[in-house]
Each structure stands twice: as structure tokens, then as C-alpha cells.
Amino acid sequence: MLNVAEIEPAVARLSPADLAEFRAWFARFDAAQWDVEKEQDASSGRLEALANEAIEDLRAGRGSDP
């Protein structure tokens, strides 16, 4: 498996067109990873405490309804 130190020079050598293609691919990849992480957090209940705190703040007038 490659590490960051091995990938960096390869990315630096990309042509402008290939770099644009890589950026677009990485943005899609990163977004998908974020979605997986948030889904895991939600399904494990990690976000429940934050949601409850936000609801309590809103009900107590410490926030605003968008």
C-alpha cells in the first residue's frame, strides 16, 4: 500500500487536466467517506446526545428556528 510520502510526488507531477480530474475524484471520494462516517455515527447513537442538546436549547430560547 502507498503512503502519503509516496503519493505526494506523483500528484505533483500530474498535468493540469489530470490534476483537475484527480481533484474531482477526490472530492467525490471524500464526500462518500464523510457520508459513511456520519451514517455510522447516527446508527450508533453518537449524534443523539447532540440532537437532544440542540432541542433543549431551542426550547429554552437559546437558539433560533431556521
Q: What is the pLDDT of residues 30-62, one digit of tens each?
A: 999 999 998 888 888 888 888 899 899 988 988
User: For residue 39, which amino acid is it?
Assistant: E
pLDDT tens digits for range 10-35: 999 999 999 999 999 999 999 999 99
| Residue 66 pLDDT > 70 | no
C-alpha cell at 44: 450508533
Cα(31)–Cα(39) distance, integer angstroms: 12
Q: Taking a C-beta distance cutoff of 8 angstroms, is the pair 22, 14 a contact?
A: yes
* pTM for this model (two decimals): 0.61
Q: Are 16 and 10 in contact (CB under 8 A)?
A: no
